[in-house]
Amino acid sequence: MKRWSKEPSESGLARICQLPRGANLKEDGEILAMVRPLVQDYLSVVGWYWYGFGLNTCRSPVNTLDEAKKQVIKHIKDSLTK
């Protein structure tokens, strides 16, 4: 079964200035797709993108983490119907 899990937080001093955490789509412990923040300047998030299944959407980011997760699910459903 596929499940979303939050990206783990950094440890130590890196945690102080970490970016917003993304999400990983996993099935049986294997990561299928990852959603990450798109950063323009240091710590300035301008959108969210996902990569996996041989695709990378960093050139067409969306506004929120949830939108990017929905794109991943839509891609999976579309590829299953083909």
- Condensed to tens digits (0 to 9), the pLDDT of residues 14-47 reads 998 888 999 999 999 999 999 999 998 877 899 9
- CA-CA-CA-CA dihedral for 48, 6, 69, 22, to nearest 10: 10
Q: What is the mean pLDDT of residues 53-60?
A: 94
The closest alpha carbon to 76, from 24, 33, 23, belongs to 33
pTM of the model: 0.88
